[in-house]
Amino acid sequence: MIIFDVILLLFFALIVLLITVSIIYNTVKLGISPMPSSNKAYLAMMQLIDEVELETKAGSIIDLGSGWGNFVIRIAKRYPQREIVGYELSFLPWLTSMLVKKILGLKNLTLHRQNFYQADLSSASILVCYLFPQAMEKISDKLHLEQVGVNFLISNNFALRAWQPCKTIQIDDFYKSPVYLYDITNRER
């Protein structure tokens, strides 16, 4: 009996170790951890989506780096008539979000385990992200080069080079973190 308990314990320790190694590996490789946005940031991002939702009508809402799915799941429930898409490369966060999507039966949510820099974003009308400065540089280049039909980009905390935000919400947190709304059709380069 004790041997069985020890084997079980070792099995769980191995799983925890694999999960930890996988998350650390992807964090180093991608330059960012799958840490979700704060609840206050989600509320601000959602407020901005609400404000531009009618203007954009059709077209998908895409989360660039959807992590554990916290945000895509909220918006898929909030806008059942819209196509919501998440791109996530880190395996465990992606798998978790897929499981939650299946359990909740969210048919309007598509989750790709794919690098969003290489993704075709032409179906998007709103992009959302919570990334880091170098990633924002690459997104800026992608939007400029590919001339995709994106209307708006909402970024938690990190600014988008070459565009002026049309609205900024300062979250009521310790850092007064900004959430930016960019009108992508109106670039000021």
Ligand X SMILES: C[S@@+](CC[C@H](N)C(=O)[O-])C[C@H]1O[C@@H](n2cnc3c(N)ncnc32)[C@H](O)[C@@H]1O
Q: Find the shortest distance in angstroms from Cβ 188 to ligand X.
A: 26
Determine the residue with CB nearest ligand X: 65
Q: Using the rule CB under 6 A, is 35 a contact of ligand X?
A: yes
Q: Which of residues 44, 88, 124, 184 is near ligand X by CB under 6 A?
A: 88
3-state secondary structure of 63: strand
CA distances from 49 to 16, 72, 92, 104 (A): 37, 12, 27, 22
Which residues, other chains included, contact 40 with Cβ-Cβ below 8 Å and sequence gap of 6+? 171, 172, 173
Q: Among 52, 61, 73, 93, which residue interacts with ligand X (rule: CB under 6 A)? A: 93
According to the binding rule CB under 6 A, does residue 157 interact with ligand X? Answer: no
Out of 46, 48, 62, 71, which residue is the one contacting ligand X (CB under 6 A)? 71
Range in contact with ligand X (rule: CB under 6 A) among 32-40, 51-59, 73-81, 144-152:
32-40
Residue 136 is a binding residue for ligand X (CB under 6 A): no
Q: Tell me which residue of 59, 38, 27 sits closest to 124, measured CA to CA.
A: 59
Closest CA relative to residue 32, chosen from 128, 130, 171: 130
Is residue 37 at the binding interface for ligand X, with CB under 6 A as the rule? yes
Rounded least distance, CB 26 to ligand X, Å: 6
Q: Which of 60, 61, 70, 153 touches ligand X (CB under 6 A)?
A: 70
User: Rounded to whole angstroms, how far apart are CA atoms 135 and 143?
Assistant: 12
46, 116, 127, 163: which one contacts ligand X (CB under 6 A)?
A: 116
Tell me the CA distances in angstroms from 161 to 60, 140, 151, 182, one per residue in order.
Answer: 23, 6, 16, 11
Tokens standing for residue 6: 């020890």
Q: Where along the sequence are the contacts to ligand X (CB under 6 A)?
A: 26, 30, 32, 34-37, 63, 65-67, 70-71, 87-90, 93, 115-117, 130-131, 156
